Structure 1
Amino acid sequence: MVIETERLVLRRFRMDDVAPLSAYRSDPDVARYQSWAAPYSLDKARYSVQTMIAADPGMPGWFQWAVELAASKTLIGDVGVNLADNLRQAEIGYTLAPALQGKGYATEAVHAILGHLFTVQGLHRVSAECDARNTRSARLLDKLGFTREGLRRQHTWIKNEWTDDLLFGLLADDWPSSPPVPR
């Protein structure tokens, strides 16, 4: 169960991913719009990786894909897919190490996962949600063809504040067949 792109390998997590997962999720800028707090301890990363290893991408619930640079075999992020009970819809989320942001890796990884979800798993719809202040995430979703479907004002209480959430959706019928050009 591996998806390869020009520069990346998307694969199941392994126990040797614990330290790099802890490192990039411990960055306060990475954690800012996520549900976890920085620092992200090695114990928490170990538990997360164990949970990720046990998950089944074909069953309802969350499955995290490890995102690795093909050339160096370095873990640089993850893409999460929350498959709905009907196996026809999913929610997607993503995280990338800060040193590698802005190079098109997140776009490439999410595009590859979307291609897998629509063409291999036969999904009808993929949704995404992000903090309205996370303009980089919203731009990525726009670039990949998602439609902005709504704004939930002061919807989420996280890290001691109310946040607005942007809602996005992408239908299989709207899925682009050619990959976006990495920036």
Structure 2
Amino acid sequence: MPDGSFLPPPSRVDTPRLVLRSWTADDAPALQRVVLDNIDHLGAWMPWATAEAHEHLDEVAARLAGFGEEFAAGREWMYVMTDRDAGFLVGGLGVHARGGPDTLELGYWIRRDLTGLGYVTEAVRAMVDAVFAACDVARIEIRCDPRNARSAAVARRAGFRHVATLTGDAEPTGEPRETMVWERRRNGARGP
């Protein structure tokens, strides 16, 4: 565990339409296909997608195996979202220990052809319930670029409250940007 202050989230979360589970190397071909088919959609907000589009399949498989190792070791929890019935890759969701000993952060992405169908909101709601049930944390955060209206809408629909917009925050590329911070507190308690 990152700081020893909480138990990890569950290894699998089921929703009415989705299965969220740890990535494996076997997911590499599907992930590579989805990234290549959605590079403009994903790359606009997630620099990893642009880099991954140029990687060999064995590099993608190695990274996904690493995600599984991190998951098992309790350091970071990267989930693949798959369709519950057909098994195809829908997107991804991460639970990150970045916000201190009493906070976890959620991040998510979805392929373009499935946007607007409520999959991400369904996954986020289920993961919030699972995290609060399994982990001793006071709050869960979602952080997004204010220009990413879809991501902000997911946070709102999933019951998160906008608590701050950071100015000059560093995005994953190192460039400064604004970052919206959304939170949900255990049992719906209002924070400062």
User: Unaligned stretches of 5+ in structure 2?
Assistant: 1-10
- Which residue in the other structure is 2:33 paired with? 23
1:102 to 2:116 alignment: yes
CA deviation after TM superposition for structure 1 residue 16, in Å: 1.9
Q: Does 1:171 align with 2:181?
A: no
Structure 1 residue 52 and structure 2 residue 67: aligned?
yes
Q: Which amino acid aligns with 1:163?
A: R
> Could you report, residue by residue, the CA deviation over 1:119-172 in whole angstroms, capped at 9, with x for unpaired residues?
122321111111111010001101111111111223225658542111111101
Percent identity between the aligned chains?
24
Tell me which protein shows more helix as a share of its residues: 2
Give the direction of change, closer, same or farther, for the CA distance of 1:128–1:160 in structure 2 (3 Å limit): closer
**Could you tell me which residue of structure 2 aligns to residue 64 of structure 1?**
78
Hey, what's the Cα distance between the residues in 2 that align with 1:123 and 1:58?
18
Q: How many residues align?
A: 174
> What is the match of residue 2 of structure 1?
12
Task: Work out whether residues 26 and 61 of structure 2, in 8 Å CA contact, stay in contact via their aligned partners in 1.
Answer: no
Corresponding residue of 1:126 = 140
Cα pair distance change 1:17/1:156, threshold 3 Å: same
TM-score normalised by length of structure 1: 0.84
* Structure having greater relative contact order (Cα 8 Å, sep ≥ 6): 2
Q: Distance in 2 between matches of 1:33 and 1:138?
A: 12
* 1:100-119 superposed Cα distances (whole Å, 9 cap, x missing partner): 11111111111111111011
Aligned counterparts of 2:21 and 2:142: Cα–Cα separation in 1: 21
Match among 89, 104, 107 for residue 103 of structure 2: 89
How large is the Cα RMSD of the aligned pairs? 2.3
Partner of residue 14 from structure 1, selected from 2, 7, 24: 24
Alignment partner, residue 5 of structure 2 = none
Task: Quote the residue 1:138 is aligned against.
Answer: 152
Instruction: Provide closer, same or farther for how the CA distance between residues 159 and 3 of structure 1 changes in structure 2, counting only shifts above 3 A.
Output: closer
User: How far apart, in 2, do the equivalents of 1:75 and 1:119 lie?
Assistant: 26
Q: Distance in 2 between matches of 1:57 and 1:84?
A: 18
CA distance in 1, matches of 2:151, 2:181: 12
Amino acid at match of 2:64: V
Cα distance change, pair 46–58 in 1 and its aligned pair in 2 (3 A): closer
TM-score, normalisation: structure 2: 0.80
